[in-house]
Amino acid sequence: MTIRLGDIAPNFTQDSNEGPIDFYEFLGDSWGILFSHPADYTPVCTTELGYTAKLKDEFSKRNVKAIALSVDDAESHKGWIQDINETQDTTVNFPILADQDRKVSTLYDFIHPNASETLTVRSLIIIDPNKKVRLIITYPASTGRNFHEILRVIDSLQLTDNYKVATPANWQDGEDVVIVPAIQDEAELKERFPSGYKAIKPYLRLTKQPNRT
């Protein structure tokens, strides 16, 4: 099965280090991050899971729940988590799915045959409260994920869901944003963007971040 942007993320029930998890029940009305790992006791993944744990407060204030996946069993996960807590000076505070049967990996297209017939690639999916897939990123096994970028994307998605704006290249929370081209009526522009805007080109108009003014 191939997952694409805009698809409804499929539900599943799978074991984890915290017991069986129904994915939709776990997410509730939160945003979700589902990210895969090739196997337990792998060095790059150890740093990624540790850093994810350290971002708990950042995720919480954005109403985001993290859930990881590895193809080893739940008991193996528990041992690995002890290593993660020790080496990364943190406490893993989210579940790791035990996907021995590759059920979830197959459902979410986390196994790429040209990379490995059996192990998952380093993929990450962001899912919104309507269970819609909003971001898919796949990294090579040698490259750890950039979780600052993940937070940036979540900030952008949540902002642009609520306002008629888009975020430009390298945008960070608090910086100017782009008014979507569909808004042309001056009365609507004044109502939506009372701080005004700067028209660099008719199609390129910058304004202050609406929820910061």
Active-site amino acid positions: 45
Within a 10 A sphere around the Cβ of 25, how many other Cβ atoms? 9
Estimate the crossing angle of helix 74-88 against helix 43-54, to 10 degrees. Answer: 70
- Contact between 97 and 26 under an 8 Å Cβ cutoff? The reply is no
- Contact between 120 and 69 under an 8 Å Cβ cutoff? The reply is yes
User: For the chain, how big is the Rg over CA atoms in Å?
Assistant: 20
Strand ranges for 49-175 from DSSP E: 64-70, 96-98, 122-127, 133-139, 165-166
Within a 10 A sphere around the Cβ of 135, how many other Cβ atoms? 17
